[in-house]
Structure 1
Amino acid sequence: MKVIITGSTGLVGSAVIREAIANDGITHAFVLSRKDLPKEISDNAKVTVIPHADFSKYPEDLLTQLAGCEACIWAIGGRAPHFPDLDTFRKVSVDFTLAAARAFKQRLAPALADNQRFRFVFCSGMLAEWDQQKSLLFMADSRHVKGQVEKGLCDLADKDGRFDVFCPRPSGVLPSNVSTLGKLTGKLYGAIQVQDLAKALVYIALNGAEKQIIEAGELTSLHK
């Protein structure tokens, strides 16, 4: 399978690239990135790094390069406090993600063979909330925006066509070099190590899932 990967300089996206390289089910990874990547990634035969400055636009020449891809693992986002303001967080999380999904649904999915479906895998977050009017006691901005993205993507999903959407919801992501204390603390809130999350995301890209929303506890069975 040829796959598109975003968020390449982040914790999750970089781990997804490493897993894509290691996984025999992935034949090639097209990495959309604003920044240059380490040579061990950019020089790998399984990887094509495509410089992409504006994630709100997907011109024809870019879509031509991505022709034949059957999945996208979207790892751009994070939590609201990581951004300078809510508007920026919403633009990066909602606008960029939905712009890509619409472009891939319109141009890449219909060009696949009759027995193939395009899978858009959005790395969301635990307790994402679709109801934008619901009052939340904690992490309200992050949960509302993640929920807005999920709903927008699921509205784009086409059961009768060739565009599927999956939204895994990790509760927290631990780096690969996390300490023993960090692992123990992570267990308290169901965190997953980044390499295991990457395996789960690649698994979903390759095989799909029974449900569009994949809760944190369900991810552990997808990285074995």
Structure 2
Amino acid sequence: MKLVIAGSTGVVGTELVRQALSNPAITAVLALARRETPVPSRLSPGADASKLKSVICDDFENYSDSVKKELSGADACIWTIALIPSKYGSFPPDQAAKICRDYAVYAIEAMTNLAERSKPFRFVYFSGSGTERDPSKKPLLMGDYLLLRGEAETKVLAYAQQNPGKVEACVVKPGYIYSPDKHSALMGRVFGLGAAVFGFGEVDVRDLVAGVLDQVVDGFEKDTLSNADLDRIGKASSKKLAELRAKQ
């Protein structure tokens, strides 16, 4: 599998690259970002750093010919590019909509047309718990942001539904993402408390990524995966991979 990881320099993107390099089913990793994507530290045994190709993109609404050439023939894309809630208010509404919605919609259309025709292209849109697709149910807190992310989900899934056999799409909606590389154990407990209070759920980035890669490689369980789904699939996948490595 030739896999595109968009937003490859973020916390989730870095873990996606790290685990993808050690996944034998993934033969090439195209790291799509505005800057160079380095090889992550602490690679697992058996990881192949030569599978990584950094693809720098300056315009996510109109890919250059060189970017299109690199993306040509890809089998799947995991799209993590978006604004986090704390940064949403710092951008004008039209710019925020581009980053959170339009870039992803353009990506699924462009990459599907650049993909191999023998099998459906798989596209994962990273969203989050609490997003809302129904404008009549606008949340009281962060309503505009959550509706925008929900609109992006709707457009991505609609494109797949309108192109059966050509593309398959999945929206993943993790809650609070804990990363041991970025957060202390104390922060992890704070995340756990916040997850309990707001009902968003919590997931370890390693389990989250293991679950998403499992779905990309083997096929989507359903078109929308909740935090509980991702935690369940990820833990099972992490356990399976650990057992396989122990036997090697």
Determine if the TM-score, normalized by the shorter chain, exceeds 0.5: yes
Structure 2 counterpart of 1:28, which letter? A
The residue aligned with 2:61 is 56
Q: Once the 2 structures are TM-superposed, how far is the Cα of residue 88 of structure 1 from its aligned partner?
A: 2.3
Q: 2:192 aligns with which of 187, 201, 206?
A: 187
Structure 1 counterpart of 2:32, which letter? L
Identity value in percent: 28
Number of equivalences: 219
1:69 aligned onto 2:74: yes
TM-score scaled to structure 2, two decimals?
0.81
**Unaligned regions of 5+ residues in structure 1, if any?**
none
Q: 1:222 aligns with which of 233, 244, 247?
A: 233
1:80 and 1:89 mapped to 2: Cα distance?
A: 11
Q: Which has the larger radius of gyration?
A: 2
SS in 1 for 2:49: coil
2:225 and 2:2 mapped to 1: Cα distance?
A: 23
RMSD of the TM alignment (CA)? 2.0
SS in 2 for 1:72: strand
The residue aligned with 1:26 is 26
The residue aligned with 1:102 is 109
Q: Pick which of 62-71 and 50-59 moved more.
A: 62-71
Structure 2 counterpart of 1:204, which letter? Q
Q: Assess if the C-alpha contact under 8 Å between 2:56 and 2:67 holds in 1.
A: no
The residue aligned with 2:246 is none
SS in 2 for 1:32: strand
TM-score scaled to structure 1, two decimals?
0.89
Structure 2 counterpart of 1:51, which letter? I
Q: Deviations over 1:90-142 (max 9, x none)?
A: 1101111111111112232xx332xx221100111012111234331112122
SS in 1 for 2:21: helix
Structure 2 counterpart of 1:212, which letter? D
Give the number of the structure with larger relative contact order, counting CA–CA contacts within 8 Å between residues 6 or more apart.
1
Q: Assess if the C-alpha contact under 8 Å between 1:121 and 1:204 holds in 2.
A: no
